[in-house]
Amino acid sequence: MKDIRGKNAFVTGAASGIGLGICRALARAGVNVALADIEQEPLDKAVAEIAATGVMAFGVRLDVSDEAEVKRAAETVGARFGDLHILSNNAGVTFAGSPLLGVPQQQLDWIFGVNVYGTLHCCRAFVPLIQKHGKGGHIVNTASIGGLQVNPLLRNGPYAMTKYAVVAMSETLALDLANEGIGVSVFCPALVATGLYKSAQRRPERFGGAYKPQAGATTAARVMPTNAISGDEAGERVRQAIEDDEFFVFTHPQTRAWIEERHRKLMDGFDRNDRYLAAQEGATQTGRNPA
């Protein structure tokens, strides 16, 4: 989407961090923004800030894990905007999740409910608003560099599991929408200075309500060997990706080595399979039982 001025966007997790950074970047580019967040007071403050830039802005209090709420939000946004052009699925939660087999099911239901099903709920509800006008648009799903590898320092298995799913969801959407003029980006940042670590304070009652994380829980800021960028820097990166129709969108060049290391493990698996098949073929040719 080379020309985004005057377009309309819907952004989840919009009251702080990356979400607010995306809203600010879009507003500076002349995009009208509907902001959604689970916390009303920060949402109201964010809406006032974005509206003060001169674009149309309004807020929708929303728990993306609740599909019925998402559908109602889509009705509201459709009625206020008419056409929707940009969907930014940014709402997300995290928690310390190692060892994996000790994580309570309720915690897994929550993180999958927000990070995976929340993204899917919004795609189901809002992509039709982009398709309806037939003028194209763009979807940005916020995953993480953790959606491409499980960091051995963070040991953030459940979070990475959900972000792997967001990457696969984005790849699927890109194929599904390729002929409709709707671009798809999957945002895979490393460390961003956000309030994601406060996720425990925002857990809905149906998932057990707010709770206090276990003492000594590892945080990304303590162990990740990268410098944190600001939410505004992340937002500008996303805006550029929308305009340039990028698919994989990264922030930290240091993380290239992490992905290359995982790729080496994958290639090693293929190499081992080649040797296995060659041995099987050799055994067959010499008349030996390959088993």
Task: Give the whole-angstrom CA distance, residue 62 versus residue 84.
Answer: 18
Q: Provide the terminal-to-terminal Cα distance of the chain, rounded to the nearest Å.
A: 56
Half-sphere exposure for 149 (CA within 13 Å, toward CB): 19
Catalytic residue among 163, 164, 198, 276: 163
Catalytic residue among 159, 211, 212, 265: 159
Task: Give the whole-angstrom CA distance, residue 136 versus residue 113.
Answer: 29
Q: How many CB atoms within 10 Å of residue 262? A: 13
CB contact set of 139 (below 8 Å; sequence gap of 6+): 86, 87, 88, 89, 123, 127, 130, 170, 173, 177, 182, 183, 184, 185
Annotation says 159 is catalytic: yes
C-alpha radius of gyration, the chain, whole number: 21
Annotation says 163 is catalytic: yes
Catalytic residues, by residue number, are: 159, 163
